[in-house]
A and B are shown apart, each in its own frame.
Chain A
């Protein structure tokens, strides 16, 4: 039974190797990719179902007991996120063949895609801090490969910055792990948590915690460490941007959520209070960035930052509602960011430009696409009854029950500006006079719309059908607020 945990990591790994072998036969790799993605989604769904209906599953790899061997922990949070990852991944698998050029496909796109999923799932599931570093490297290495795919001049230009900044933060990660090992003599997360608890997070521990926070914050694109993100996310192909937007920064914020709810929770007034400020600044600077540009892809890329801010805000207040809100928002944002990247990808494709100033009246040619964008904008801004609202409501309940008024007002204003930044695309790009010059002769959007509809359906379901999800998310929140559960389930002494 517990071997089930490793499947969401191993299946994409094997799939990656297999599609790399069949690289030349594009038709085969496409089909295999779709099949494996769906298979993995099924496995992830089954895993989540088991975890939510029974209990966390812990796999001690190689039969080495915790804390000595590496363990994989499929707790409710991890399995929910693995499931979401695969939901997103399936959409991208179906979108990719219609969006990529043949050249990009034969340059191992599908292999890298699977390796990325491997790394992301591994990062969610591992219970070992150093192993987390290794999975980070897997997903980063895959992302380095994906970002240069196609090898355009600007792509290379942005990717080298991307690689360097991530490389730096990886090195800092290893160093921070070293410090933790020096201080508490272990790299198993549950045992670190236990030992930090015994020591009351004394001495150098909080300093190391903050160092680790910055490592993850760089990956999560939080203020003021997100500089690498917006431009490097828009240079690769749309489907790559979507994968990045949905997964990479989310792994960063997940790690923050995990580490600062499990391990470093004994100096809340210092650490978590700081998070609230960082969250607020991320929201503000994120939306300012989103408003600053006319590049539709960049608008969406900047919108990643406030979303991460929202998630961090819930962790900052560290109460039941706040944490539920963070988890809900995390899941919501993974889905809607993918959808939005895919949408703007189609828009840029049919309009022949990413520059909003050169668009107008698209709705006369692509009404369906316009309405998808319209709905997605409201989902993103947290307008009910869509998924963003439930997350935001929980977050607001969390902040306001602590009377954190300033951050609440920032969050509300950000929501408005997020809506404005995306609706700008609708108002200026889709509304307007019908262009009769034939600039937009009808292009085929075959195969591109389906994945978007599929993702938006999830977003709507997460809002309208929230009753099916909220209790699970609240149980995750309860679970996260009580690190003992995790520690005991892993160490079982």
Chain B
């Protein structure tokens, strides 16, 4: 199963990058969201899957799932959320100010 989840994470990374390479803001932002999902799945896989109970101490249970990756993912999810929110607002403002949501029209090669 770890291998399958690794592949799934790979698929998320692939689709994420493909979207990131598009022109329109919405697709690009969606790309970043997919990328972070992929990264989180990678972390999860690294702690081995389904070895024991959820990491909440219960009497009589000695076998728990690795809790550390979960803690890391939690931190990462929150941070990703923060960045995504900012990115959304930024994308919105940029699109409004520049009158386009096409990344390729935001090159600005002229020397300002």
Closest to B29 in A: A164
Contact B32 A168 (CB under 8 A): yes
Determine which residue in A134, A157, A171 has the highest number of CB atoms from chain B within 10 A of its CB, and name it: A171
Mask: chain A, 134-157; 1 = CB below 8 Å from B; 0 = not: 100100010011001001011011
Give B11-63 interface residues, CB cut-off 8 Å to A: 20, 25, 28, 32, 35-36, 38-40, 42-43, 45-47
Closest to B82 in A: A141
For chain A, which range describes its interface: under 10, 10 to 19, 20 to 34, or 35 or more residues? 35 or more
* Chain A residues, CB < 8 A from B47: 181
Contact B32 A174 (CB under 8 A): no
Contact B86 A156 (CB under 8 A): no
Given contacts A168-B35, A355-B111, are A153 and B72 in contact (CB under 8 A)?
no
* Chain B residues, CB < 8 A from A141: 82-83, 86
Contact A174 B94 (CB under 8 A): no
Contact B111 A295 (CB under 8 A): yes
> A157 CA to B97 CA in the complex, in Å?
9
Asked if A466 lies at the interface with its beta carbon under 8 angstroms from chain B, I say no
* Chain B residues, CB < 8 A from A235: 112
Asked if A92 lies at the interface with its beta carbon under 8 angstroms from chain B, I say no
Closest to B36 in A: A171
Contact B32 A154 (CB under 8 A): no
Mask: chain A, 170-210; 1 = CB below 8 Å from B; 0 = not: 11101101110110000100000000000000000000000
* Chain A residues, CB < 8 A from B35: 168, 171
Contact B108 A167 (CB under 8 A): no
Contact A187 B86 (CB under 8 A): no
Contact A179 B108 (CB under 8 A): no
For chain B, which range describes its interface: under 10, 10 to 19, 20 to 34, or 35 or more residues? 35 or more
Give A112-171 interface residues, CB cut-off 8 Å to B: 130, 133-134, 137, 141, 144-145, 148, 151, 153-154, 156-161, 163-164, 167-168, 170-171
The contact of A182 among B46, B76, B94, by CB within 8 Å, is B46
Mask: chain B, 58-86; 1 = CB below 8 Å from A; 0 = not: 00000000001100100110010011001
> A282 CA to B20 CA in the complex, in Å?
26
Asked if A30 lies at the interface with its beta carbon under 8 angstroms from chain B, I say no
Asked if B87 lies at the interface with its beta carbon under 8 angstroms from chain A, I say yes
Contact B91 A160 (CB under 8 A): yes
Smallest CB separation, B93 vs chain A (Å): 6
Interface of A is mostly: helix
Contact A157 B111 (CB under 8 A): no
* Chain B residues, CB < 8 A from A171: 32, 35-36, 38-39
Contact B45 A182 (CB under 8 A): yes
Contact A178 B46 (CB under 8 A): yes
Closest to A295 in B: B111
Asked if A293 lies at the interface with its beta carbon under 8 angstroms from chain B, I say yes
Closest to B106 in A: A157
Asked if A231 lies at the interface with its beta carbon under 8 angstroms from chain B, I say yes
Asked if A294 lies at the interface with its beta carbon under 8 angstroms from chain B, I say yes
Closest to A157 in B: B106
> A243 CA to B11 CA in the complex, in Å?
38
> A167 CA to B82 CA in the complex, in Å?
11
* Chain B residues, CB < 8 A from A148: 90, 93
Contact B83 A160 (CB under 8 A): no
The contact of A168 among B20, B68, B97, by CB within 8 Å, is B20
The contact of B75 among A134, A145, A157, by CB within 8 Å, is A134
Contact A178 B39 (CB under 8 A): yes
The contact of B76 among A163, A174, A355, by CB within 8 Å, is A174
Smallest CB separation, B9 vs chain A (Å): 9
Contact B42 A179 (CB under 8 A): yes
* Chain B residues, CB < 8 A from A231: 108
Given contacts A163-B90, A164-B28, are A175 and B42 in contact (CB under 8 A)?
yes
Determine which residue in A137, A178, A235 has the highest number of CB atoms from chain B within 10 A of its CB, and name it: A178
> A145 CA to B45 CA in the complex, in Å?
33
> A171 CA to B69 CA in the complex, in Å?
15
Contact B86 A144 (CB under 8 A): yes
> A174 CA to B71 CA in the complex, in Å?
13
Contact B69 A151 (CB under 8 A): no
The contact of B112 among A130, A144, A154, A161, by CB within 8 Å, is A154
> A381 CA to B22 CA in the complex, in Å?
41
Contact A163 B87 (CB under 8 A): yes
> A145 CA to B76 CA in the complex, in Å?
19
Closest to A130 in B: B72
* Chain B residues, CB < 8 A from A154: 108, 112
> A293 CA to B109 CA in the complex, in Å?
12
The contact of B87 among A137, A167, A294, by CB within 8 Å, is A167
* Chain A residues, CB < 8 A from B36: 171, 174
Contact B94 A157 (CB under 8 A): yes
The contact of B39 among A158, A174, A295, by CB within 8 Å, is A174
Given contacts A141-B86, A153-B97, are A293 and B111 in contact (CB under 8 A)?
yes
9 A-B residue pairings within 8 Å (CB atoms)? A137-B83, A151-B97, A156-B93, A159-B90, A160-B25, A175-B39, A178-B72, A181-B46, A354-B112
B residues touching A (Cβ–Cβ < 8 Å)?
20, 25, 28, 32, 35-36, 38-40, 42-43, 45-47, 68-69, 72, 75-76, 79, 82-83, 86-87, 90-91, 93-94, 97-98, 103, 106, 108, 111-112
For the complex of A and B, list the 5 residue pairs with the smallest distance between their C-beta atoms, beginning with the closest.
A182-B46, A178-B43, A156-B94, A178-B42, A157-B106
